[in-house]
Amino acid sequence: MAVSIKDIARRADVSIATVSMVMNDTPGISEKTRERVRNIIKEMNYIPNARARSISIGRAGIIALITPPWKAAFSDPYYTEMIRGALEAARAKENQLMLEICDSHFLEQKLWKKLFDSKKIDGMLVATPYLDQDYIKELHDLGKPVLLINGERPDLPDMQSIGYDDFRCGLEATNYLLQLGHSRIAHISGPANQASAINRMEGYKKALTNAGLPVLDDYIVDGNYMPLEARDAIIKLLSLDKDKIPTAIFCANDTMGASVITYLTEQGDSVPLDFSVIGVDDNSIASEIQPGLTTFKQDIFSLAYNVTTRFLDNFDNKSPADRISMRIPMEMVIRESCARYQTL
């Protein structure tokens, strides 16, 4: 038989109202009583009824996480870690996480509006680059709690967003290669419509400009964040005239960086003696590949966990909502894929 709040109140020798106040973190109860009730809740393995909790807190108790289509969301460690972090945070706050994929059906039916209109969700975390600017504007204009993860809309100053500082990452990655003596530095970029890819490329360009070097179109090749496209990109770079072939490659993510290292090694080239390679993300492949890939660490699990917790706290705080807007610097992880440029 399921345990009820009444059972907990009887066991703790307090009122049902007191148990409810403890469960909802309502002030006005001594810490001693609060701790006793919480311990009894754990001992009795109480599982709150979702409908009852929704009524008690005055909201659905559910937030939606919008991800890319399944193939990207569940094959890319970036998204699996994001989902895991958001899910664990929601559970810790006794809320539920609804996963919605951003596919053609989601876009054509404008499901984000239907979810809000039906009051099935309290808010939405948008973690997909496939929701284009017009759709995000429509979502913003609903006036509902929405937060972009690793997305930016400078034209919508009240749009909440959080993410890593991709421009700074591109700048620091290129500066590192410059400090190693490289001047022919190529960039294998991500999708042209994604803010993270655009900002990493802009950081790359800025570093070259600061160093007094030209930004060459031949040195910027789209890899679409995918391994096969990255392989095509490095083949294209190696087909340049011998005296123009780059000696260092900044890849916009680790998946492409690993693909580049694999291809170069297969061709008999040495990484890092012939070519230096840098990636972004610090996912598992960066440490598993040989040589280890120098990269920039994104702790996606922690980012998703912390922002989900803060997002949910805003629903329960009595004070005005804490608007979330920040860019977090990435940590450089130096491994064996880069070396000082050697003149012949």
Please list the pLDDT of the chain residue by residue as tens digits (344 residues): 567 788 888 888 988 888 877 876 677 788 888 888 888 888 888 766 555 555 455 666 888 898 887 766 777 778 888 889 999 998 888 888 888 888 787 777 788 788 888 788 888 898 887 667 777 888 788 888 888 887 777 677 778 888 889 999 999 999 999 999 999 999 999 988 888 899 999 999 999 999 999 999 999 999 999 999 999 999 999 999 999 999 999 999 999 999 999 999 999 999 999 999 999 999 889 999 999 999 999 888 889 998 899 888 887 664 445 667 778 899 999 999 999 998 75
CA nearest to 193, candidates 245, 152, 241: 152
Q: Give the model's pLDDT for residue 130.
A: 67
Alpha-carbon span 169 to 230, nearest angstrom: 19
Q: What is the CATH number of domain 5-47?
A: 1.10.260.40
Provide the residue ranges of all domains of the chain, joining segments of one domain with +. 5-47, 62-165+300-330, 167-298
Exposure on the CB side of residue 30, measured as CA atoms within 13 A: 4
Contacts of 107 (CB under 8 A, 6+ apart): 131, 135
Fold of 167-298: Rossmann fold (3.40.50)
Q: Give the model's pLDDT for residue 319.
A: 46
Contacts of 15 (CB under 8 A, 6+ apart): 9
Fold identical between 62-165+300-330 and 167-298?
Answer: yes
CA nearest to 257, candidates 268, 265, 269, 249: 249
> At residue 260, what is the residue type?
V
CATH class of the 62-165+300-330 domain in this structure:
alpha beta
- Say if CB 37 and CB 14 are below 8 A apart: yes
Q: Give the model's pLDDT for residue 46.
A: 76
Instruction: Read off the tokens for 245.
Output: 């072939």
Q: Give the model's pLDDT for residue 50.
A: 53
- Say if CB 29 and CB 65 are below 8 A apart: no
CA nearest to 276, candidates 255, 245, 298: 245
Alpha helices in 180-289 (DSSP H): 195-210, 227-238, 254-266, 284-288
The beta-strand segments (E) located in 80-208 are 96-101, 123-126, 146-149, 160-164, 185-189
Alpha-carbon span 90 to 287, nearest angstrom: 30
The crossing angle, in degrees rounded to 10, of helices 31-43 and 5-12 is: 120
Instruction: Read off the tokens for 313.
Output: 């706290």
- Say if CB 146 and CB 127 are below 8 A apart: no
Exposure on the CB side of residue 211, measured as CA atoms within 13 A: 22
